[in-house]
Amino acid sequence: MTFSKSVIWIVSAPTGVGKCYFLENKEDRLSKITNLPPFKDSILAINIEKYFDMIEDSQWSENICVHLEVGYKGALIHPNWEKFSKLEIQKKVIILGVSYSEYKIRFQNRYSPWRKRKIRDLNNILDLYKGWIDELNKKEIPYLLVESIGDYKILEEEEFFRMLK
């Protein structure tokens, strides 16, 4: 496999939507969506910096999957995104989403009272998704909108935003 055929797939969503679950428990669906064999591992966006040199020097020959939080610590996207987005390797994005009622349940289950984190309101969630999609469109990076429950269906944009509410 050559560098030019390599792809970085980015699985993205706000915290609590199910990126880790999808990457760890839905490998078959991820493979079907990406049309690739299962990924060996996913890389957290926070750790991607250690791979930059290898990717830029065309030493990378495998398809990789990056776990990227939208709404990272108050910013729209992880701080590594700007440099990461400029890498010459092909990038494609999977944007996961669930209904707001499901999001609240997942968020509360994930963050117990001793580990405080504020649940985002629906308008904030919608703004995060719209901002992320706008960013991808500006950079001409293709993306798929995927319902993060059940069969992990690929949705059209109108259907995806209707489902979020």
- The pLDDT score that the predictor gives to residue 1 is 25
pTM: 0.85
- Residue 2's pLDDT band (boundaries 50, 70, 90)? very low
Round to whole Å and give the CA distance between 80 and 125: 21
Q: What is the pLDDT of residue 137?
A: 97
| Strands 42-44 and 64-69, bridge-based pairing | parallel
What are the pLDDT digits (tens) for 25-61? 888 898 899 887 776 656 655 566 666 666 665 555 5
Section 83-109 average pLDDT = 88
Decide if 42 contacts 65 (C-beta within 8 A): yes
* Angle of CA points 20, 22, 27, to nearest 5°: 120
Look up the CATH number of domain 3-164: 3.40.50.300
pLDDT for res 110: 74
Q: How far apart are CA 132 and CA 74, in angstroms?
A: 13
Domain ranges in the chain are 3-164
- Mean pLDDT, residues 2-17: 74
- Tell me the C-alpha distance between 95 and 1, whole Å: 27
